Amino acid sequence: MRRLIIAQRCQVRVHCECVCVFSAQLPLAVLMPPIGVDTMVLSARTVIVNWLDSSSVSPTDGSVYTVRYRKHALRARYRYVNVTMTTAKLDELRPNTEYEISVKVSRGSRHSTWSMSVLVATTEAGTCPLYILYCVYIVFTLFSRQMKYDDDVCTC
């Protein structure tokens, strides 16, 4: 925590001058919430979430991202996933269900507010997602970022 030292001239009863020192705590730089939260449906039970962190100075700055999601229509309890990259894979979702998703960043003891929420609907079970053409791209991205990848993600 940074401290600001404020010096001020004071009059003491014996008519001499002294300097009184006050200490005030200044807040550390505020973390901005992630922006550009975007989703891609990979299957009836899997969604990929991407975002940008405008306050990150480097990929290894110790940022931890918390993704929260819940069924939108039911206002259910949130589920949380922590990741260290600006991409998260949400598994074990219900087919043909709309989810509300948002992200926040944490660095040490500092935390941002939650990002703007986005809505995404999973596909029906047994159907191909609309973005199936992007599967090769996603697989490449996941491997290049050294994320765990399940073989059944892009099967139709």
Rg of the chain taking only CA atoms, in angstroms: 24
The answer to whether the predicted template modeling score (pTM) of the entire model surpasses 0.75 is no
Domains and CATH numbers, the chain: 35-144 (2.60.40.10)
Instruction: For residue range 58-88, list pLDDT tens digits in order.
Output: 666 788 999 999 998 777 899 999 999 999 9
For the chain, the straight-line distance linking the first and the last C-alpha, in angstroms and rounded, comes to 53
- Nearest CA-CA partner of 1 in 108, 146, 131, 124: 108
Q: Are the C-beta atoms of 93 and 99 separated by less than 8 Å?
A: yes
Question: If DSSP codes are grouped into helix, strand and coil, which group holds residue 134?
Answer: helix
Q: Are the C-beta atoms of 61 and 53 separated by less than 8 Å?
A: no
Instruction: For residue range 99-129, list pLDDT tens digits in order.
Output: 999 999 999 889 999 999 999 999 987 665 5
Percent of the chain with pLDDT over 70: 60
